[in-house]
Amino acid sequence: MSRIFTRSRRYIQLTGELRRQRSLRELSPALGRSFASASALFKARSDSWPQDVGILALEVYFPSQYVEQQELEKYDGVDAGKYTVGLGQTRMGFCSDREDINSLCLTVVQRLMERNNLQGSSIGRLEVGTETIIDKSKAVKTVLMQLFEDSGNTDIEGIDTTNACYGGTASLFNAANWVESSSWDGRYALVVCGDIAVYATGSARPTGGAGAVAMLVGPNAPLTLERGLRGTHMQHAYDFYKPDLSSEYPVVDGKLSIECYFSALDQCYSVYRRKFSEQRQGDGVSDLLTLNDFQHMVFHTPFCKLVQKSFARLMLNDFLSDPNANTESGLYQGLQAFRNVKLAETYSNKEVEKAFLKASQGIFNQKTKPSLLLSTQNGNMYTPSVYGCLASVLSQYSAQQLADTRIGAFSYGSGLAASMFSFRVSPNTAPDSPLTQLLSSLSDLPERLESRKPVKPDDFANIMKLKEETHHLANYTPQGTVSDLFPGTWYLTRVDEKYRRSYSRYQPNK
Ligand code: ACO
């Protein structure tokens, strides 16, 4: 049975390659920042299967203000280093009452459309992943349709998806599946993930954040979602959830959420590795996948220290699955004592954690640390978190450095839903290639982070309190200062007596 499957997969790969050559020939003149018109794509699609489906363009939005974690430690009266070293967080972005989930998504989508000269008519699907629910019925997606009114395009599939921090990944998979399906009409898909991550006062508060990411999905992408390489784990758990619909805050069992995250990571890695091995066997190679097969690895990042521990855990997985691993020298030197540990018994084993953190430090610095730029500076954005890590990688490397590499991704949403998957980076590094243009569009990320405004912890606490008291009100006019926003940001102007929300765009130079 599996041999038949392998053979048919090989056939798909071969015929797929022929189709890819043809579709590349047809589409290549239209690639670049000015994306191909929908009709050009549709023509290409009519006699060729879309190839290299993935991310063509990516846009990140984060709030223009932040609080220093070091100052928050003092303000909260905890030991110095608890948030900055213990959790690995430097700054935390947050929104005033001027921004909500609709405005975050309006901002990031409009920015993506404008910066890539995208016509409204070129989008055939728009999906939103969020857990920031401000309406139990009306989707964020329908609010975003205002951005397409001028184009007259209302033929846009897709709606909101919710499960904690996983909704963005579900949306990305839906979008890529649509492009690869018989339903595809040749147009692009747009994936939007956005959230405002806020916690009640207490130990979870420093792990908040806010932001949104928009991704343009289509064929011939510089970041291709690798086909057949998705390891998913879903399970019932009450680790983090939002049962109180009148509150913005979740109910969190912090320790359980970390255990759930680690166990989902183990499970997803195991499934991903199995699928990877099956594909490799088809190509005549029998080695098990290890961290060596990823040049970069990005993770959903609730806080940066958890990601470093997760990376160390993947190394533990590699070690345990290789009975012949050399512990005399090299990567696993000195780890012999852990040869017989059971993965499921190590979630809170500090000895194992410490040993593998130390052993993996060097490769963590190479493969994952650069991805934490946005997370350490802005905090947990929830659904966009893992895509913010991807953007961080893309903002710090050249096309030559990234060409033809594999970027692994682990997405986790409490409750719980998790997947491991991977992107293959295009080998085309020409100055006008889609890869070069994608990277250059993100190269100002560090500069944009630096241009934010610092806010003192007591002002931050007052803003949180105001939001607690007003976020659910009808007949409400927000009080936050509009001129503090980044130019081009959409903001909430009013919630009327029927809870209908109105927005405006901050354009100081117009
Ligand atoms: N200097 C250096 N490190 C310190 C210091 C200090 N002065 N004080 C404490 N630390 C370390 C601790 O040793 C600990 O590190 P360790 O876990 O490696 O031992 C770390 O700082 C955190 O300290 P704790 O006392 O364990 O933290 P606390 O219980 O107060 O809360 C938690 C941490 C559970 C992460 C909390 O912030 C939380 O609930 N966050 C939200 C839930 C979450 O993010 N879960 C992750 C997955 S689900 C999701 O994405 C939402």
Catalytic residue, from 99, 193, 268, 300: name it. Answer: 300
Identify the pLDDT of residue 287: 78
Identify the pLDDT of residue 286: 66
* Ligand 1 surroundings by CB, under 6 angstroms: 79-82, 85-87, 165, 203-204, 207, 240, 252, 254-255, 257-258, 261, 302-303, 380, 414
Q: 239 CA to middle of ligand 1, Å? A: 15
Catalytic residue, from 131, 233, 304, 471: name it. Answer: 131
pLDDT at 363 exceeding the cut of 70: yes
Let me know if residue 170 belongs to a domain.
Answer: yes
Taking each helix axis from N to C terminus, what angle separates 304-320 and 254-282, rounded to the nearest 10 degrees?
50
Annotated active-site residue 165? The verdict is yes
510: confidence class by pLDDT, cuts 50, 70, 90 = confident
Let me know if residue 4 belongs to a domain.
Answer: no
Structure tokens at 5: 């499957």
pLDDT at 346 exceeding the cut of 70: yes
Let me know if residue 490 belongs to a domain.
Answer: yes
Task: Round to whole Å and give the CA distance between 196 and 380.
Answer: 9
Q: Whose CA is nearest to atom 17 of ligand 1?
A: 86
Let me know if residue 218 belongs to a domain.
Answer: yes
Q: Whose CA is nearest to atom 50 of ligand 1?
A: 302
19: confidence class by pLDDT, cuts 50, 70, 90 = very low
40: confidence class by pLDDT, cuts 50, 70, 90 = low
Task: Round to whole Å and give the CA distance between 416 and 86.
Answer: 25
Mapping DSSP onto H, E and C, the string for 452-500 reads CEECCHHHHHHHHHHHHHHCCCCCECCCCCHHHCCCCCEEEEEECCCCC
The string of pLDDT tens digits covering residues 199-252 is 999 999 999 999 999 999 999 999 999 999 999 999 999 999 999 999 999 999
Identify the pLDDT of residue 34: 61
3: confidence class by pLDDT, cuts 50, 70, 90 = very low
Query: Of 89, 203, 346, which is best to mutate to test ligand 1, by the most ligand atoms within 8 angstroms of its C-beta?
Result: 203
The string of pLDDT tens digits covering residues 140-194 is 999 999 999 999 999 999 999 999 999 999 999 999 999 999 999 999 999 999 9
Q: What percent of the chain has pLDDT over 90?
A: 88
The stretch 266-278 carries a mean pLDDT of 96
Let me know if residue 324 belongs to a domain.
Answer: yes
Ligand 1 atom nearest 79 alpha carbon: 7
118: confidence class by pLDDT, cuts 50, 70, 90 = very high
Please return the burial class of 451, using the count of CB atoms within 10 Å of its CB with bins 0-12, 13-18 and 19+: exposed
Containing 40, the helix (H) or strand (E) segment is helix 38-46
Contact 399, 435 (CB under 8 A): yes
Ligand 1 atom nearest 261 alpha carbon: 47
Phi and psi at residue 356, to the nearest 5°: -80, -25
Per-chain mean pLDDT for the chain: 91
Domain count, the chain: 1
Contact 233, 268 (CB under 8 A): yes
Identify the pLDDT of residue 23: 38
The string of pLDDT tens digits covering residues 277-326 is 998 887 776 678 999 999 999 999 999 999 999 999 999 999 999 999 99
pLDDT at 45 exceeding the cut of 60: no
Catalytic residue, from 165, 193, 260, 268: name it. Answer: 165
Q: 301 CA to middle of ligand 1, Å? A: 13
Query: Of 70, 74, 82, which is best to mutate to test ligand 1, by the most ligand atoms within 8 angstroms of its C-beta?
Result: 82
Let me know if residue 239 belongs to a domain.
Answer: yes
The stretch 322-331 carries a mean pLDDT of 93
Let me know if residue 2 belongs to a domain.
Answer: no
pLDDT at 12 exceeding the cut of 50: no
Q: For residue 257, what is the domain's CATH number?
A: 3.40.47.10
Containing 6, the helix (H) or strand (E) segment is helix 2-27
Q: Whose CA is nearest to atom 18 of ligand 1?
A: 86
Q: 87 CA to middle of ligand 1, Å? A: 6
Q: 117 CA to middle of ligand 1, Å? A: 43
List the domain range (segments joined by +) for residue 358.
Answer: 17-505
The string of pLDDT tens digits covering residues 92-108 is 999 999 999 999 999 99
Ligand 1 atom nearest 253 alpha carbon: 39
Task: Round to whole Å and give the CA distance between 155 and 40.
Answer: 18
Q: Whose CA is nearest to atom 34 of ligand 1?
A: 254
Let me know if residue 370 belongs to a domain.
Answer: yes
Write the DSSP symbol of residue 163: B
The string of pLDDT tens digits covering residues 72-92 is 999 999 999 999 999 999 999
Match 């005033």 to its residue by tokens: 96
Q: What percent of the chain has pLDDT over 70?
A: 90
